[in-house]
Amino acid sequence: MGERRLPSRGLLVHHSRMTPIQRLPASLTPLDTARSALLDGLEPVAPIALRLAEALGCVAAKMPALKAIPPADVAAADGFALRARDIAGASSYSPLPLIKPPVFVEVGAPMPEGCDCVLAADAIDQTGPLTEVLTDAIPGQGVRRMGGDIAEGISVMAPGRRIRSLDLLVARAAGLEWISVRRPRLRLLDVPADLGHTITAQLIPEVAGAAGAEVVVTAAAARDARSIAAMIDASACDVLVTTGGSGTGRADAVISALAARGAVMAHGIALQPGRTAAAGRIGRTPVIALPGAPDQALAAWWALVLPVLDRLCGLEPRQRVTLPLARKIASHVGIAEIVLLERNAGAWMPLAVGELSLEAIARSDAWLLVPSEAEGFAAGAPLDAYLLRDW
């Protein structure tokens, strides 16, 4: 029996009825190279209109110019509506009698014509035969002016930013029912482990939804290349992600299946953890194969999938938080390594470098990537890290 090696795909193919065994190439693909290949020619997806209740976490596209809110002067407090110049000089020592009782208004009610201030109920004395004012006021007191919340013609949600609950508050106040967003379609194909459903297959849809993607989850019927290839479908998605089966185990066959359906651009990434991840394409659709272990899948998700989703969403560059490093980080040259960090007394404390335990993942506040050309960072160095939780 002969055999031949396909170095571009890292496969060892036996000329027999045996299933091909996946092998990593002798030289791992630099992370930057794999990421650049995935992003090459990738453009933001077309905007779609979503109801406000569905838009939370998505990335805003073009936003309409809003009308003035409120559309007219309204009461900003409960009380009596008056004209400030008519009650100038009024005080508890020198009450000012009114010819007729003032109009009582509640918060949000339009101001009566000619009125420009609102006085609290205890500033008006109605116990005697006359209604008296016990204090004066200035124009605009207790009043929200026209356009005080939103000025006419502005847009409060900038394109490229993730939509928050506070943004939806403004949209509802403006009377919007729909909002324009970019929401890429992510298809997740799970390759089930021998022992059944993996926790990674449950994790990835959650983080993908939080990243603003519309997620459809499918599963291969078995771990062999034919079963996996039958479920690889990029026709109705903007990015295809697989979980499990990307390693060099005897039952791993995702790379073989991807090679049969499209192009494998890199298998074996110089990334720790996550070196058995792969990058490919089916037509113009990027494909990322994530390892089945949760720590390796998370690393490859942050390093490979998130940049693709950010590009498809048209997301502005992710913000990072800079803090000094509490303890030295040592890294291996030639491998990009994921570091988990905990905020401790105003500094970043490294929790894990290259190997991410579930405990470290649970405790971490942020993550960063040590470039492959770096040996690490000295204690006290200012480091930019991506947040994993709100502070």
CA–CA separation, 300 and 388 (whole Å): 15
Cis peptide before 273 (omega within 30 of 0): yes
CA–CA separation, 242 and 198 (whole Å): 12
Which amino acid appears at position 269 of this protein? I
Residue 80: the pLDDT is 97
101 secondary structure, DSSP code: P
Residue 11: the pLDDT is 42
What is the number of residues in the chain?
A: 391
Residue 20: the pLDDT is 59
CA 213 to chain centroid? 9
Question: Position of tokens 């029912």?
Answer: 177
Pull the structure tokens for residue 254.
């995702």
Alpha helix (H) residue ranges in the chain: 31-39, 52-55, 165-173, 199-210, 225-231, 254-261, 294-300, 306-313, 358-363
- 194 burial class (0-12, 13-18, 19+ CB within 10 angstroms)? exposed
Asked whether 304 and 35 are in contact (CB, 8 A), the reply is yes
Residue 335: the pLDDT is 95
Asked whether 285 and 237 are in contact (CB, 8 A), the reply is yes
Residue 197: the pLDDT is 54
Within 8 A by CB and 6+ apart from 4, the residues are: 13, 15
Residue 5: the pLDDT is 36
Residue 260: the pLDDT is 93
Asked whether 175 and 43 are in contact (CB, 8 A), the reply is no
Pull the structure tokens for residue 186.
């992510």
Dihedral angle sign, alpha carbons of residues 183, 184, 185, 188: negative
Asked whether 262 and 289 are in contact (CB, 8 A), the reply is no
| pLDDT tens track for 263-319 | 999 999 999 999 999 999 999 999 999 999 999 999 999 999 999 999 999 999 999
Question: Position of tokens 């400030």?
Answer: 84
The pairing of strands 74-75 and 185-190 is unpaired
Helix%, strand%, coil% for the chain, nearest 5: 20, 30, 50
Can you list the residues of the chain whose pLDDT is less than 50? 1-18, 196
| pLDDT tens track for 221-250 | 999 999 999 999 999 999 999 999 998 888
The pairing of strands 382-387 and 321-324 is antiparallel
Task: Name the pTM for this structure.
Answer: 0.83
Topology (CATH level 3) of domain 321-387: Beta-clip (2.40.340)
CA–CA separation, 300 and 40 (whole Å): 18
* DSSP sequence for 229-244: HHH---TT-SEEEEES
Instruction: Write the CATH number of the domain with boundaries 28-45+184-313.
Output: 3.40.980.10
Which amino acid appears at position 292 of this protein? G
Residue 14: the pLDDT is 37
CA–CA separation, 260 and 310 (whole Å): 28
Which amino acid appears at position 233 of this protein? D
Instruction: Write the CATH number of the domain with boundaries 74-144.
Output: 2.170.190.11
Pull the structure tokens for residue 126.
């109605």
CA–CA separation, 208 and 93 (whole Å): 67
Q: Beta-carbon neighbour count of residue 83 at 10 Å?
A: 15
The H or E element containing residue 349 is strand 347-353
* DSSP sequence for 258-319: HHHHSEEEEESBSEES-TT-EEEEETTEEEEEEPSSHHHHHHHIIIIIHHHHHHHHTPPPPP
161 secondary structure, DSSP code: S
Residue 195: the pLDDT is 57
Query: Where do the domains of the chain lie?
Result: 28-45+184-313, 48-62+155-181, 74-144, 321-387
